[in-house]
Chains A and B, each alone.
Chain A
Amino acid sequence: MLPTIIVDDEKCEDPLSCRRCLIICPTHVLGLGTDVGAQKFRETDTSHFIVRPVRFDKCSGCMDCVDGCPQSAIQVSFGGGDAR
């Protein structure tokens, strides 16, 4: 069964320096993207980095990311059930 994984970008302010969820997910589900895409002639400011469930098909639902996020920014739910 596929999960719905939602990350609150407002709460997750600086994922590049936190990256806790990336490291603790046992199946490397979560990854970083940016909310602006590639920009010519300038480096993307770290405030534009966001966490997304890149490999959500490998999520077991263990909730380690949900419990481990210091900002409580991650919600994981299955089959339309209640998000935790």
Chain B
Amino acid sequence: MIFVAGVSKAYRDGEVRREVLRGVDLEVGRGETAAIVGPSGSGKSTLLNVLGALDTPDAGTVRVDGVELSASRPAALAGFRNRSLGFVFQFHQLLPDFTALENVIMPGRIAGRSAASLQAHGLALLGQVGLEGRAADFPQQLSGGERQRVAICRALMLEPPVLLADEPTGNLDAASGAQVLDLLNGLQRRRGTTMVLVTHNPEVAGRCGRVLRLEGGRLTPERARNRERR
């Protein structure tokens, strides 16, 4: 489902060249869940952006859901992101001019569907994360954790085959974190969704099939015991 080989990415900071990814290899099969852990600044978000066709690597191959990303045109990639990917951004990135519900159904609007046909599903999603009463609220009226949950609903709106989530439970307390994880697991069981999660939370990582550590620009498998000792 996700196939990454030899991906490198460097940023130029004035004179300094910072190599964030140096030959990352990764394979995630259909319906699998992979957690990516690593210190801050190690390039986890960068890797996720590369997987999500938002950023182009300097070298290497990226294939997601059968699409060779480097060979596709921008318009085709836009369609691919809309159809095949669900994104949970590290900083929720809700649109402040739209209500919670409007934010949730936005991927459907982009796909060209009418608001009426999307509303019921959007409300159901909000209900599953305990926000049924906040559908008409604007992001400014929501707490950080509530915004994060709305952002997760938005990523799940079109039930994408691939979900890329950057610290989906970062701002959440244990209870709502569990709620979100249940939602993700439920979707995975029902639809066979492939997931790549970036997380600092050992409990979240523990619920994933595989845990990978990104450090020094390389991705290495991490055994559960190592993680718990840390």
Decide whether A and B assemble into one complex. Answer: no
State the A residues within 8 Å of B (CB).
none
State the B residues within 8 Å of A (CB).
none
